[in-house]
Amino acid sequence: MALLAMIDNDQEVLLAADNTSAGKERCALSVPSSENLSDVEAADSEPGLDDNVAAKKPRKVSAARQQQADSEKPSVRRSTATPAPGAPDVVERTEASWQVTARLVLPAPGRDIGLTAQDPELQFVLRSTIASIKSDLFFVDTYPTIATRAGFVRPHLIKAALIRLSSRHIHHRLVNDPDFAATLAPIPLDRINIIRGDFKKCAVACLAGHYHLADLEEAEVKRRVEDLLKDHRYIFPVDKKAGGKLRFDQPFAHPAIIHILKELGFSKPSFVTEHLGLFPTIPEKPDERELPVPLLAIPATALYAGFVELRMTGSRQPTLFTEDAFEDIYRNHVAAIELNRRDAPKATHKLLHGLFNQVMANRNTADHTSGSAATLIQLVDVPSD
C-alpha–C-alpha distance, residues 136 and 312, integer Å: 35
The pLDDT tens digits of the residues spanning 338-370 come to 999 999 999 999 999 999 999 987 533 333 322
Amino acid 177: pLDDT = 97
pLDDT confidence band for 241 (50 / 70 / 90) = confident
**CB neighbourhood size of 171 (10 A):** 19
pLDDT confidence band for 20 (50 / 70 / 90) = very low
Regarding predicted confidence, which is higher, 378 or 119?
119
Query: Residue 189: CA atoms inside 13 Å, Cβ hemisphere, count?
Result: 20
CA 110 to chain centre: 24
C-alpha–C-alpha distance, residues 41 and 29, integer Å: 8
345-361 vs 323-343: helix axis angle to the nearest 10? Answer: 120
The pLDDT tens digits of the residues spanning 154-198 come to 999 999 999 999 999 999 999 999 999 999 999 999 999 999 999
* Helix %, strand %, coil % of the chain (to 5): 50, 5, 40
At 371, is the secondary structure helix, strand, or coil? strand
Pick the range with the lowest mean pLDDT from 69-78, 128-137, 261-270: 69-78
C-alpha–C-alpha distance, residues 379 and 247, integer Å: 12
The set of residues, in sequence order, having a beta carbon less than 8 Å from that of 96 and lying 6+ positions away, is: 103
pLDDT confidence band for 268 (50 / 70 / 90) = confident
C-alpha–C-alpha distance, residues 347 and 179, integer Å: 49
Average pLDDT, the chain: 80
Amino acid 279: pLDDT = 96
Amino acid 62: pLDDT = 53
Amino acid 240: pLDDT = 87
pLDDT confidence band for 111 (50 / 70 / 90) = very high
C-alpha–C-alpha distance, residues 116 and 103, integer Å: 13
Helices within 277-317 (DSSP H only) = 293-311
pLDDT confidence band for 89 (50 / 70 / 90) = low
C-alpha–C-alpha distance, residues 96 and 183, integer Å: 16
C-alpha–C-alpha distance, residues 197 and 216, integer Å: 27
Bridge partners, 3 (sequence order): 15
Strand duo 2-7 + 371-372: pairing: unpaired
Query: Residue 285: CA atoms inside 13 Å, Cβ hemisphere, count?
Result: 13
Amino acid 255: pLDDT = 96
pLDDT confidence band for 5 (50 / 70 / 90) = very low
pLDDT of 76 above 70: no
With 0.85 as the threshold, say if the pTM is over it.
no
The set of residues, in sequence order, having a beta carbon less than 8 Å from that of 162 and lying 6+ positions away, is: 171
CA 159 to chain centre: 13
pLDDT of 11 above 50: no
Of 305, 311, 348, the residue nearest 329 (C-alpha): 305
The pLDDT tens digits of the residues spanning 276-323 come to 999 999 999 999 999 999 999 999 999 999 999 999 999 999 999 999
The set of residues, in sequence order, having a beta carbon less than 8 Å from that of 82 and lying 6+ positions away, is: none
At 372, is the secondary structure helix, strand, or coil? strand
Amino acid 202: pLDDT = 97
b/e for 299-326, b at 16 or more Cβ within 10 A? Answer: bbbbbbbbbbbbbeebeeeeeebeeeeb
- Mean pLDDT over 84-93 rounds to 55
pLDDT confidence band for 80 (50 / 70 / 90) = very low
Task: Give 51's DSSP letter.
Answer: G
DSSP 218-266: HHHHHHHHHHHHGGGGGGSPEEGGGTSEE-TTSTT--HHHHHHIIIIIS
Task: Please give the torsion angle defined by the CA atoms of residues 234, 237, 240 and 241, in that order, rounded to the nearest 10 degrees.
Answer: -140
Regarding predicted confidence, which is higher, 138 or 38?
138
Amino acid 361: pLDDT = 78
Q: What is the dihedral sign for C-alpha 103, 109, 112, 114? A: negative
Amino acid 96: pLDDT = 94
Amino acid 222: pLDDT = 97
- Mean pLDDT over 221-227 rounds to 97
Q: Which amino acid is at 378?
A: Q
Amino acid 33: pLDDT = 43
**CB neighbourhood size of 266 (10 A):** 17
